[in-house]
Structure 1
Amino acid sequence: MIIAHLSDLHLGYRAFGHVEQGKNVREVDVARAFHQAIQKILEIGPAAVLVAGDVFDRPEPPHSALVALAQGLQSLREALPDTPVLMAAGARDTPAGPADPGPLGAFDTLGGVEAVTATTRSVHYSQLDLNVVLVPHRSTIQEPGPVVMPNPDARWNLVVGYGSVDAEGSALLDLESGDWDYVALGHEHFRREVVTGVHYAGAIERVGATPWEAAAEEKGFLTCDLESGQVDFHPIHGRPVVSLEPIPFEPDRPERLRERVREVLVEVPGGIEEKIVRIRIQGLPPGRLDLLDGVLPEYRRRALHLEVQLDDEPSGPLSRENMTAKRLASRLAERLAEEGDNLEALVELVRNCLPGKQV
């Protein structure tokens, strides 16, 4: 029996402020990746589809994100009517109010769909001899913690959960992996196997404030053959993200900087057109930003997004804290940028607080 495992869809994700035909381009990218995954799942024909959290990018997603999920579920129900879809809400799907089920709760009313948003739920499918325990984000942060037990009457026992299972002292899910045939996890955007049978599928697109970190990793979803234990990865084509090697600034040859920026951009395989591109420049004093004048506008018109980051190469005991602050501030800047030009000054203020300034 084959099951499909997706996570971190982030439907409704928006970034960079690029709009085409009234829609944020990155939101369209994410919805397209989701529909690619659905089409591949229809070709595979699994016995069950598991979605481990962060279905949406925020607790109050745009209506277009709800439509995208509804369309995907409809395709699954029409083509695979006997295949249940089991979803556990992640932090991004969970409103602050404990009585609010969030947007995912509406889909729990659909036939063949389990969309769990608050408390742990165990679902048994006698025709499949399958039992699935769904552990949403909210149940992992409330006391007492979730009770996760296999069903001894089922041939196959699965978990769909959101959170950490292997962080020392801070694991949100306490599992004995030997009790389960497969554990489908969400929350981490990178695909990895924790231990045998316990997997993070990773995000289906390069979302978030630092997409550069995932530039070299393929995105997609997993399937598992429960009989053999074979786990396969199914890639999904998303918008290319390019993170270029740092360019060191040469104080004795300042005019060389423009040449090097042009060289590295021209050398990108396939060009930079419609890609998300990051250039890092090391050691450039903030007072010498004029050296980049005239070189960036042309390339920014060609790329979907071109970001130039000035690296100070943080060192010492505060490096990790600086990196965390950078990610938080960058995420805030991204969100504020979506709200309109009237917040441009505030966005610039946030960006100026980053350890590595962005141009």
Structure 2
Amino acid sequence: MTRPTRVDDLPIRDELRGQHAYGAPQLDVPVRLNTNENPHPLPEALVARIAERVTEAARGLNRYPDRDAVELRTRLAEYLSRGGVPIAPAQVWAANGSNEVIQQLLQAFGGPGRLALGFDPSYSMHALISRGTGTAWLSGPRRADFTVDVEAARAALAEHRPHVVFLCSPNNPTGTAIEPETVLAVYEAAQAARPSLVVVDEAYVEFSHGRSLLELLDGRPNLVITRTMSKAFGAAGLRLGYLAADPAVVEALLLVRLPYHLSSVTQATALAALEHTDTLLGYVEQLKAERDRVAAALAALGLEVVPSDANFIQFGRFADADAAWRTLLDQGVLVRDNGLPGWLRVSIGTEAENDAFLAAVKSVDVVTKKEQQ
């Protein structure tokens, strides 16, 4: 009998050999708090509006969609400008999730013979998409409290001279936001090393206590801010990500994007969601309050909690994070083990889901303390 073919038996690129696909466990349990989803279903009024817009779009599905998504980019620019920093439609680009936005950036500014640098632990897709585009990846330094060490970052940038630099604010999985001064220092150091694209991933910024870094874009053509509608807009199933940058960056992405990459249905659904921005951001305020409540409760249980500006919390430290994860799972609560020794990450759910999580954590804490003694 012939042995089944394995991926590494195929003539794939060398840098992909031995790699594993990205993915969190998708398990059917009562409380799923492992993928940073917004737990609130879309309001019925929005569902109805989506149906109307999609029905209208369906009548023209025999034609290609608006290739450049002009109406959608205009509405996204208006949304971004609500924060007080004027953003023009020419500064905005959209794609199928922020991961595709990142992929397009690396296709245009990374690639074979080029280097991307990020500061781990951070969003693991930055490294995976880099490798997928043939871009070499280097992990930069963080302090023990998970903040970016500016002086160490300057040294790494001067030594390695990357073509693309990734920052994540709030950071995933730690939830920590980056101060504007840190971003400016990294940007300036990156430009001194070589003209480098600096990408700030703001997937969770609507949950932050502070402001967006959009105000830093003016006069910095190599700075990019990426966003998503998956989190604050509660539209993870939509797969719509976008960026704000100098218009020249958008022009560069036109060179690598696939033709008609955003379907008419996707554009129609995103436009409907943007019509209900205020309602959806109201859910964000509820989640922020729940996040702070859960963080305080975890601290009261004697656990270490990393201050979070996102819709999730990193907590620990456990003698055996995998055992703690399994203990929670045995009680019907699924959280995320990112492989960071001693730590787990929990997404903020509904009040009832969070209560179930906190009840389950109490038994984990007992097990952990016994193991540590």
Q: Which of 1 and 2 has higher RCO (CA within 8 Å, sep 6+)?
A: 2
TM-score when normalising by structure 2: 0.32
- Higher helix share goes to which structure? 2
- Higher strand share goes to which structure? 1
Q: Which has the larger radius of gyration?
A: 1
TM-score when normalising by structure 1: 0.33
